[in-house]
Amino acid sequence: MTVIYAIIIFCLLIFVHELGHFIVAKACGVKVNEFAIGMGPAFFKRQKGETTYSLRAFPIGGFCAMEGEDQDSDDERAFNNKPAWQRALVLIAGSFMNLLTAVILLMIIAFWIGQPTTTVDKVVEQSPAYEAGLLQGDEITAVDGREVDEWNDIITYVGESEKDTAEITVLRNGMEMTLVSDLEFDKQANRNKIGITAASEHNPGYAAVAGVKNTWNMTVMMYDIIKQLFTGDVSVKELSGPVGIVYAVNDSAKAGVIYVVYLAALLSLNLAIMNMLPLPALDGGRLLFLIIRKITGKRVTDEMEGKVHFIGIMLLLLLMVYVTWNDIIKFIVPIFS
């Protein structure tokens, strides 16, 4: 199942990325010679119109081969003969689709988990809340006289209280009552607790907002890690390639399907961000060349740019080999030692 999950995630994210390039390229009238999922020899090919659609042996990449993408072409529908703004849209489209995929997956997770309400779902037996008389279905309206608007207010007011007890005001069957509960200190969480969990509601509006917010927070975290890679605060040895991702999928699968979905969102966002870095062979590098050539005119030819990107691909492949070797040392060698 780990292998199946990993292949599904790889293929889904690559397909979404290349589909973004493909859709926008077609919309801009760019001639697409081949749309492929996977790398290496093709085991399936089908010609439809001017485009060949193929599946290749290794599900660790893919491509949308456009006429005039890496070399000069006289075809009026070639990528190199299209206006700069159209080429920019084509380049950005892949990462945008991965970003959109991450947002949608995080929305699904937020809807699946639900939004915690101020209504009690469970009361742990023999807990302070149980002894105080709290019941499932009680709606907490105040803690120690402080009004409660959301579940986090309850966690904060109870968790940070310096008293031995807390006055919990609840609505039960339309009647308001105040119960006094002892506080139990949780050393692991470093806060007080009374032994209750929140009921959740599954609201699409909340899920949409949470999906966008969580994507933003994850993006900030990733850029911070990239910054630390360049400053040396994080070692390149900490990076993971396909082998490391398979092991991450394995750990996520053990925890549950929702963790696999979260990992897929994380990888999709990672793919979006990494591809927009201004490095040769990446979409961000191609976009940088587009801007440079717009400023300098014909001083940088398609052939020159193609050579730079080819060198970039070789360097990326070397990095992939290095990262994969580190993954083997970290994950596979200990199994046999």
What does the pLDDT read at residue 304? 78
What is the per-residue pLDDT across 196-209, written as a single tens digit (0 to 9) for each? 999 998 889 989 99
> How remote is the C-alpha of 271 from its chain's centroid?
8
Q: What does the alpha-carbon distance between residue 275 and residue 18 come to, in Å, rounded to a whole number?
A: 12
What does the pLDDT read at residue 331? 67
Q: What does the alpha-carbon distance between residue 14 and residue 245 come to, in Å, rounded to a whole number?
A: 14
What does the pLDDT read at residue 269? 93
Q: Does the pLDDT at position 20 exceed 70?
A: yes
What the block records as the tokens of 45 is 């090919």
Q: Does the pLDDT at position 336 exceed 70?
A: no
Q: Give the pLDDT mean for 261-286.
A: 89
Identify the three-state secondary structure at position 196. Answer: strand
For residue 118, give the amino acid letter.
T
Q: 2-27 vs 257-275: helix axis angle to the nearest 10?
A: 40
Q: What does the alpha-carbon distance between residue 111 and residue 151 come to, in Å, rounded to a whole number?
A: 17
Q: What does the alpha-carbon distance between residue 38 and residue 23 come to, in Å, rounded to a whole number?
A: 18
CATH no. of 116-200 = 2.30.42.10
Candidates 13, 220, 241, 24; CA nearest to 105 is 13
User: Which is it for the CA torsion 158, 163, 165, 166, positive or negative?
Assistant: negative
Q: Does the pLDDT at position 256 exceed 90?
A: no
Q: What does the alpha-carbon distance between residue 242 and residue 273 come to, in Å, rounded to a whole number?
A: 17
Q: Does the pLDDT at position 334 exceed 80?
A: no
What is the per-residue pLDDT across 125-160, written as a single tens digit (0 to 9) for each? 999 999 999 999 999 999 999 999 989 999 999 988
> How remote is the C-alpha of 38 from its chain's centroid?
21
**Per-residue pLDDT band at 299 (split at 50, 70, 90):** low
Q: Where exactly does CATH 2.30.42.10 map onto the chain?
A: 116-200
Average pLDDT over the chain reads 87
Candidates 171, 179, 76; CA nearest to 130 is 179
What the block records as the tokens of 319 is 């990095």
- Rounded to two decimals, what is the model's pTM? 0.79
**Per-residue pLDDT band at 110 (split at 50, 70, 90):** very high
Candidates 227, 230, 240; CA nearest to 266 is 240
Q: What does the alpha-carbon distance between residue 240 and residue 156 come to, in Å, rounded to a whole number?
A: 37
For residue 127, give the amino acid letter.
S
The H-or-E segment that residue 3 falls in is: helix 2-27
CB 167 within 8 A of CB 143: yes
Beta strand 146-147 with 139-143: parallel, antiparallel or unpaired? antiparallel
Q: Does the pLDDT at position 1 exceed 70?
A: no
Q: Does the pLDDT at position 92 exceed 90?
A: yes
CB 228 within 8 A of CB 219: no
Q: Percentage of the chain surpassing pLDDT 90?
A: 45
Q: Give the pLDDT mean for 223-246.
A: 77
179-186 — which CB contacts under 8 Å span 24+ positions?
A: 179/132, 179/133, 179/134, 180/132, 181/128, 181/129, 181/131, 181/132, 181/134, 182/128, 182/131, 182/132, 183/128, 183/158, 184/127, 184/128
Q: What does the alpha-carbon distance between residue 33 and residue 117 come to, in Å, rounded to a whole number?
A: 53
Enzyme catalytic residues: 18
Q: Percentage of the chain surpassing pLDDT 70?
A: 96
Candidates 314, 295, 292, 317; CA nearest to 305 is 292
